[in-house]
Structure 1
Amino acid sequence: MPTEDPAVRFERVTKRYGDHTVLDALDLEVGRGERVTLIGPSGSGKTTILRLLMTLERVSDGVIHVDGEPYSHMPGRKPGTLVPASERRLAERRRRIGMVFQQFNLFPHMSVLENVVEAPVHVLGESREEAERTARDLLDLVGLGDKVDARPTRLSGGQQQRVAIARALAMRPGILLLDEVTSALDPELVAEVLDVLRDVARGTDITLLCVTHEMGFARDVSDRILMFDRGRVVESGPASELLESPAHERTRAFLGAVR
């Protein structure tokens, strides 16, 4: 019986900025519906992985596959060859991937509801009625059903980040990327955002790839945790196992510093 292709596969992916190598021949797979958290020191390459998947950066070497098909590349003119993907192809493929950033990036002149509706209407081609119905359901999910008419500037940072989560989910992504989504929040607002993301992880079959320094959250939502250092995975394992009994000295040192 054939095995199902992983949601994401990095095949010997390298990312360089000049002489500086951020990712070093990385091999990485994330199964469909799997929740994977990336941990490690700043500059270890974690966020670069998310930026490559969002096509905010291009790979230097190697190939990224999504759902079993080349994502960073496309078939060349000669059979069996690959060439870097065109902007048009990238735009088509990245619709499957949603991302919640450290900064909320909401449109200040639009209401909360309009912020969530905008992309499904103009990118996915949904009717406004359908998009608004979905948006209201998602805003209920993130606990903001009573804020549909508010402007983002009238919301707390935690509420704005919850709107950003609803907006990402409105695009019906198969893969959701989370990049330090609580780092811009005051400490008392962190818990409300993490609670929403726990609900998303438990209540959907979405594939989740997360970068965080919140180890409690990583333990709660992750099937697997990867420890990064200098562009490579130094340790990988089930969340509770890696956090409680790390095998690698670099992992032990990092966890000791963030706890």
Structure 2
Amino acid sequence: MSTTRTLWQLERIRLGPNSRLHIDSLSIPAGVTAILGESGAGKTSLLNLLVRFESPDGGTIHFIPPATNRLPLGWAPVDGGLWPQLTVREHVGESRVQSRESRAGGPLTPALSHEYRGEGAMQDSSLLKSFDLLEVAEQRPNVLSAGERSRLAVARALASRAAVQVMDEPLAHVDSGRLHKYWQVIRDALLHDDSSLLFATHSPETVLREAEHVICLDRGTVVWQGPVLDLYEHPPDERVARFLGPANWFAREHSQTWLGNVALTSPCIRPERLQIVPDETGSCRVVRSRFAGSIAEVELVQPETQQAQVFYHRPIREQLAPGMPVSLRVLCATLLLICGLNFSGCRESNGSERPLSFEKIRRIQLPSEGAMLPAPRSVTFSPAGEMYVLDKAGRMLVYNSENALVKQWWMPEYSAGKPEGAWVMLDGRIAVADTHYHRVLFFDAEGKLTGTLGEQGEAPGQFIYTVKVTQDPHGFLYVAEYGGNDRVQKFTADGQYVLSIGKPGTGPGEFQRTSGIAWKEGKLYVADAINNRIHLFRDDGTFEKVIADAESSGLHYPYDLALAPDGTLWIAEYGSSRITQLTGDGQLLGHYGSAGRGDAQFWTPWGIGVSPIGKVVVADTGNRRLVELQP
């Protein structure tokens, strides 16, 4: 099992004359961590200490920065902390220059600074466009709305590409309709830069959607810390449970009253697991009910004892009128079973879960690089069965069919970011999607660079962020890219542009973060990560159909795909931390894995490859390992 690296260690912290903060011991891990609490709980005070904006009155804070030459910290304070003399565009440009100076080990000369700003103008525009700030790019902070200032503070922090981002109430003034869109930009930036995020919020919905770990603060004290899922499913008490939103707490002495003989694994039942069902034989009566979107609220009473309690539950179509007899039913989270009030057993639900099984499972750890244990980003195979792995250190690792490492080489440049995809070509060369350098690299079998394709731009033959590359038997290359110009471009074997496939958007044949691609018999499969779907095109660019999506197959952020020798499609789901198998026409065959660090679990898998003999290998990126699965 992988261990999570610690970023901060705090011991015996005291702050303020009235102990505004009093923390005995706290470890903050790498990854995405939320600090959650009501106004006045101490969230801003804690962040101020961590970024050294304030100093504690007592105790120690030890920051363990990641091993990188990038800026160690990016900071978006609660008030934005914007520079009044700079325009919106100058904010992100200046942040980027400061990041470059950190990597260079000192200030840039005026000439180099000017050159670097010019080179990054398109990159700045792309970032501003992502946050809908292009129209105000030449404005200064004093004329911006609160929402625009909030977005700019986040954009400036992301432009720094810091190893650890710290954000106090990010996007606090943004309208809810666009909030998810901007958080997706943050997620993409963290993913691409291999950065961690620590953010403060009072929103449990944001924590559930965005964070891996959570620290709960109440009046300056840490009352809980750990994985978000643990707090959601197994909180220690009712008070702590409500940090993550409405919860039904069935204490042992009350469980029998409301649920009969149903055995619970936890006294905490979240609203999506509780059903209130009209039932003429039910022992409860409705006092009042209230619909609130995805959660409904009802007060029930036991007529015999007059015991009353408010419950939060899954909405139902039928209105729960006062006096109506009802029963409570609990959806068991771990077994996907429906438990009834009037029977002790459980009956199976009609869920679409189809578990996959494997005869042999093997975990492979990549070779260390100094004190660092790099994580894999991409996996592909040669026709002879050699496995090519790109990692977060900037290396290409080559394994033979017995999983022995036989050679490795470094990318020519990798300070701006590491590549995300590779393919073994018909002539034996290895094509690498050099993501953050807006190009494709070509290496011979020994790792010698033999050529490049593309440059930064949005014109035909140019790229923003190249992510995957593949080749058909006729020699044509297909290069997927994202970054606001999401598409797949087709080239001849010698690099001549042929055509473009797809465009940015949410409609059929449109992409939001193009990711994996695969060619078969004149057809091109394209993974559309943010839209949670797989497209099928002809290789002449004609869109045919969406073969799988969140509704039909439960896809959640499909980040890579690969074709197996039997024609089935394997998909790595970053959002669900699992893999999925489909038929060539999109029929669901099954899922495997769940989010976690143990056996049969993945953590934000980035890549997947299938060998010529059908062996499936997953780049289990968050767990810093490869997982080999033999059906």
> Which TM class, normalised by the smaller chain length?
0.7 to 0.9
1:6 aligns with 2:6: yes
**Cα distance 1:253–1:162, how it changes in 2: closer, same or farther (>3 A)?**
closer
Q: Does 1:203 align with 2:201?
A: no
Counterpart secondary structure, 1:21: coil
What number of residue pairs does the alignment pair up? 229
Cα deviation, residue 4, structure 1: 8.9
| Residue correspondence of structure 1 range 182-201 to structure 2 within 5 A | 182-201=171-190
Task: Give the conservation status (yes or no) of the 8 Å contact 1:158–1:193.
Answer: no
Q: Deviations over 1:156-179 (max 9, x none)?
A: 544433322221133332211111
The answer to whether structure 1 residue 137 and structure 2 residue 117 are counterparts is no
Q: CA RMSD in A?
A: 3.2
Answer yes or no: is the 8 Å Cα contact 1:13–1:63 preserved in 2. Answer: yes
Q: Which whole-Å deviations, capped at 9, do the CAs of 1:87-131 have from their partners, x for residues lacking one? A: xxxxxxxx6221112333434553322122235547832423324
Retained in 1: the 8 A contact 2:73–2:163? Answer: yes
> What's the counterpart of residue 31 of structure 1?
29
Structure 1 gap ranges (5+):
70-94
Instruction: Give the CA deviation at 1:149.
Output: 4.1
Are the structure 2 counterparts of residues 112 and 57 from structure 1 closer, same or farther at C-alpha, using a change threshold of 3 Å?
same
Which residue in 2 is equivalent to 1:224? Answer: 213
Matched, 1:115 2:91: yes
C-alpha deviations, 1:17-56, integer Å up to 9, x for none?
A: 22x1122133222234x21111122222222111012222
2:62 matched residue in structure 1: 65
TM superposition shift of 1:188: 4.1
Residue 151 of structure 1 corresponds to 139
Greater alpha carbon shift after TM alignment, 34-43 vs 168-177: 168-177
Closer, same or farther: CA 47–104 of 1 in aligned 2, 3 Å = closer
- Measured at CA, do residues 105 and 45 of structure 1 come closer, stay the same or move farther in structure 2, by a change above 3 Å? closer
222 and 146 in structure 1: CA distance in 2 versus 1, 3 angstrom threshold: same
Match of 2:237 among 248, 253, 259: 248
Go from structure 1 to structure 2 and tell me whether the alpha carbon gap of 1:4 and 1:182 turns closer, same or farther (over 3 Å shift): closer
Per-residue Cα deviation, 1:222-253 (whole angstroms, up to 9, x for no partner): 22112122322222232233134422332224
Moved more, 3-12 or 54-63: 3-12
1:152-167 equivalence runs, <5 A: 152=140, 157-167=146-156
Q: Distance in 2 between matches of 1:145 and 1:185?
A: 13
- Equivalent-residue separation in structure 1 for 2:193 and 2:54 (angstroms): 28
Q: Which amino acid aligns with 1:10?
A: L
Name the one with the larger helix percent: 1
Deviations 1:48-106 (CA, angstroms, capped at 9, x unpaired): 1110122221111111111179xxxxxxxxxxxxxxxxxxxxxxxxx622111233343
Distance 1:246 1:206 in 2: 29
Q: Which structure's CA Rg is the greater one?
A: 2
- Within the candidate set 39, 54, 60, 2:51 is matched to 54
Q: Point out 4+ residue stretches in structure 1 off by more than 6 angstroms.
A: none
SS for the counterpart of 1:56 is coil
Q: Secondary structure at the match of 2:19?
A: strand
Gaps of 5+ in 2: 102-106, 248-294, 296-631
Secondary structure, counterpart of 1:11 in structure 2: strand
- Secondary structure at the counterpart of residue 58 of structure 1: coil
Mapped contact 2:65–2:72 kept (Cα < 8 A): no
Q: Indicate conservation of the 8 Å contact 2:32/2:197, yes or no.
A: yes
Question: Matched residue of 1:10: which SS?
Answer: strand
Q: 184-193 or 207-216: which moved more?
A: 184-193
Q: Which residue of 1 aligns with 2:325?
A: none
TM-score (norm 2): 0.33
Which stretch has the larger CA shift, 149-158 or 220-229? 149-158
- Indicate how the Cα distance of structure 1 residues 122 and 239 shifts in structure 2: closer, same or farther if over 3 A, else same: closer
Give the conservation status (yes or no) of the 8 Å contact 1:12–1:26: yes
**TM-score, normalised on structure 1?**
0.73
SS in 2 for 1:172: coil
Q: Provide closer, same or farther for how the CA distance between residues 25 and 156 of structure 1 changes in structure 2, counting only shifts above 3 A.
A: closer
What percentage of residue pairs aligned between the two structures are identical?
A: 30
SS in 1 for 2:20: strand
Alignment CA distance shift 1:225-1:25 (3 Å): closer
* 1:180-201 Cα shifts (integer Å, max 9, x gaps): 1233334445344333223233
Q: Shift of the alpha carbon at 1:12?
A: 2.1
